[in-house]
Structure 1
Amino acid sequence: MISMKTYWRSYFTSPWVMAVTFVLPLLTSLVIWWIFSSNVVRELPIDVVDLDQSHLSRMMIRDYDATPTLSVKSIQPNKEKANLALTKGDNYGYIIIPHDFEKNVMLGKSPKITGFYNGQFILIAKQINSALMQTDMTAQAKLSVIKQLSIKETTWTQAINSAVPIKVQVTPLFNLGSNYNQFLVSAILPAIWQMAVIVGMLWAMQNESVRTGCNSLREWFDKQDRLSIFNFTLVYFCIAMMLGAVLFYFLYGVIGFPFNGSITAFILNMSLMSFACISLGIAIGYGTNDIVKAMSISGAYTAPSFAFLGVTFPVTDMNSLATFWHSILPASHFVRAQNELSNYGDSLVSAFPNIGVLTLFTLPLLLLSLKLKK
């Protein structure tokens, strides 16, 4: 039987295992938070193809550039050059103002301004689309006011009320001020945490196999008794929980994201998430019996986690493969319970279905432990 003290000593004498399980995930999480710390998307570069070259088209360009979301980078002479710039990544989109735009507006017709953007960037595409629609609505209101003033005797107030009869006030709930920081970071950090624990377990097994003179991960595991594996698991469970505690205290304590649920339920959610990732890490290491293959499989398994969590893309719209991948990721169930607890204030009973699923991921470790001597 190997004591926890031995495993702790082994951990603190292995800088690489310490880096993988704690230091690197923290640094990565800080970088992610810093990237999204501006809270809102601003100054997205776009190009404009102005085929009309009129006073009205120039007014539209100024309106696009005046929005906080967009920044008109250049005026392109034709669609081909603007499309080439979009393909090369020099802009996120471009707008085409057609020939005779001002003339058709004055004749009461409805000319079309066409916008193109890269839909692969889901957040950016959504922001550009929203900014274009807001700018177009503002421009239509301006033109309508001018039209009202020109065709009959009326005041500015009457003209504005006639042009915009319904005034809309939008009061956001949880995504205050279109703050995508809370929306994205609170899901990205659990995905990083999941990867750190699973990959960290592989390097912890490798570290122990080298320390004890074993030739492979499987050989090291098979030589242990159940109590040794329990102590090994408990040490890295504590490390995973400390990492999770730092990450989520940063989210809810330092940054101040809202948390309305039960602390007890959240800690239980974290505990089962830690055990689930530890179990999967040991299972991958034991099954592959090689650190290189294990790292490849764990990377392929956990790297796309954020895309399959169901946060930026609804699970109901995923195909069968994506839905399956979503279901076999511990982070998917953890994030769902996390959102229910933090945003909606659910109790332990309400969150239990999602928390309970995490217990299923501990089965690989339990089954492997059964073959060990007592």
Structure 2
Amino acid sequence: MVSWVPLLAMALMCWIFSAGQPQRLPIAVWNEDGASPLSRQLVRMLEATPGFARDVQRGAGASVALLHNAQLATHSSLLQRDVRQVVGTLSAGVEMQALAKRGTPARALQLRVEPIRTQLVALFNVSTNYEQFLATTLVPALVHILAMTAGAWSVGRELRDRTLGQWLHGAGGAAAVLAALLGKLLAPLALLWASALACLLYLSQLRGWAVAGSLAWIALGLALLVAVSLAAGAALAGLTLSLRTAMSGAGLLSAPAFAFSGVGFPLLAMSGSARTWAEAMPYTHYARLQIEQWQMSAPPAQSLPVVAGLLLATLALLALATVGLLRGLRRPERWGAR
């Protein structure tokens, strides 16, 4: 669960979003305008609509009805965008032809049809590619889940199997318990961090999504995300002295982390309680660091508070896990609990 399975899961994640954007989405055309040139042109461009050419020629205008399934949010938004663009282009062309027939000078046509222009400038992810948007952020989210689960399992298994005393044999104080805990968590830390970093390097170097800022800061933030996740899982097991409770808590905290991170749904639009929950999750802050460094080319100082916060949270959670294990050593009757 900390070696080849994460690599396989991340490879699957990258493969899922490798297309970048959904392509060739099927649409059905209901054309009640017969075989008029205008409706055929609209069909060729994208869509059709009832009574189109007749109403346009009379000057009454017409409408294009797009029936879309809003539950499929991505498909729906893409279809709406393309239909608006195509119908707008066709409508402007019809208007310009009508004005030209009335003798409007060619230079004035563009100004008459579009007196005020909107200039849309995309600052980041200009190609609106889902591989850059989702794959690069879902990989760390997946590692966050795996790391918190690994931390809970590593410590909780010693409790379940009644081997806590054997593992911490000779640990006479907090420093010795902390050293034993760090030794246990070091291997999953190295493996999960290396797996996630390899995946991000694949996306940035081989898939062409170049990092605009500092890849080193992303790697450091990723290491701290794995560390704080492992420490959180270990703290859950140490404080509850139950593998089952620790695993449940790890799933409760880590699984919805991406949904509350602000990547898919903006933090500013969340309710107060939802935003409080989001800000308490370490992945929310790491996601901000990665987006700042990967896409925004933010200076490292901009991400320094996130790095410091993740480090402090890791130390605090390790301290809680150590306290819980010391308490567990004094309560052997709790060993073996599920």
Tell me the TM-score range normalised by the shorter chain: 0.7 to 0.9
Partners of 2:269 and 2:167 lie apart in 1 by 41
Alignment of 1:140-159 (within 5 A): 140-152=91-103
Equivalent residue letter for 1:214: R
Partners of 1:30 and 1:229 lie apart in 2 by 30
CA spacing shift, 1:252–1:357, aligned 2, 3 Å: same
Matched, 1:130 2:130: no
Partners of 2:267 and 2:182 lie apart in 1 by 36
**Paired residue for 1:48?**
29
CA spacing shift, 1:172–1:49, aligned 2, 3 Å: same
Matched, 1:62 2:44: yes
**Paired residue for 1:38?**
19
CA spacing shift, 1:371–1:134, aligned 2, 3 Å: closer
Matched, 1:175 2:157: no
**Paired residue for 1:342?**
294
Offset of residue 32 of structure 1: 1.9
What's the TM-score, normalizing by structure 2?
Answer: 0.80
Is the 8 Å Cα contact of residues 266 and 338 (structure 1) preserved in structure 2? yes
CA spacing shift, 1:57–1:285, aligned 2, 3 Å: farther
Which deviates further from its counterpart, 218-227 or 337-346? 218-227
Offset of residue 140 of structure 1: 0.8
Match 1:307 to one of 222, 237, 259: 259
Q: SS at 2:2's partner residue?
A: helix
Offset of residue 278 of structure 1: 0.8
Long gaps (5+) in structure 2: 172-176, 327-338
Matched-pair identity in %: 25
Is the 8 Å Cα contact of residues 148 and 159 (structure 1) preserved in structure 2? yes
Match 1:367 to one of 312, 315, 320: 320
Which deviates further from its counterpart, 332-341 or 238-247? 238-247
Is the 8 Å Cα contact of residues 226 and 372 (structure 1) preserved in structure 2? no
Alignment of 1:95-114 (within 5 A): 97-98=49-50, 100-114=51-65
Supply the RMSD in Å over aligned alpha carbons: 3.2
Partners of 2:213 and 2:104 lie apart in 1 by 59
Is the 8 Å Cα contact of residues 259 and 342 (structure 1) preserved in structure 2? yes
Q: SS at 1:61's partner residue?
A: helix
Partners of 2:178 and 2:281 lie apart in 1 by 26
**Paired residue for 1:236?**
188
Q: SS at 1:257's partner residue?
A: coil
CA spacing shift, 1:120–1:365, aligned 2, 3 Å: farther
CA spacing shift, 1:312–1:298, aligned 2, 3 Å: same
Partners of 1:251 and 1:52 lie apart in 2 by 48
Matched, 1:214 2:195: no
Partners of 2:254 and 2:325 lie apart in 1 by 28
CA spacing shift, 1:173–1:331, aligned 2, 3 Å: same
Equivalent residue letter for 1:44: L
CA spacing shift, 1:280–1:325, aligned 2, 3 Å: same
CA spacing shift, 1:29–1:226, aligned 2, 3 Å: closer
Larger relative contact order (Cα-Cα within 8 Å, sequence gap ≥ 6): 2
Is the 8 Å Cα contact of residues 239 and 320 (structure 2) preserved in structure 1? no
Match 1:198 to one of 144, 148, 162: 148
Partners of 2:41 and 2:215 lie apart in 1 by 54
Partners of 1:42 and 1:171 lie apart in 2 by 23
CA spacing shift, 1:329–1:119, aligned 2, 3 Å: farther
CA spacing shift, 1:347–1:162, aligned 2, 3 Å: closer
Partners of 2:66 and 2:182 lie apart in 1 by 59
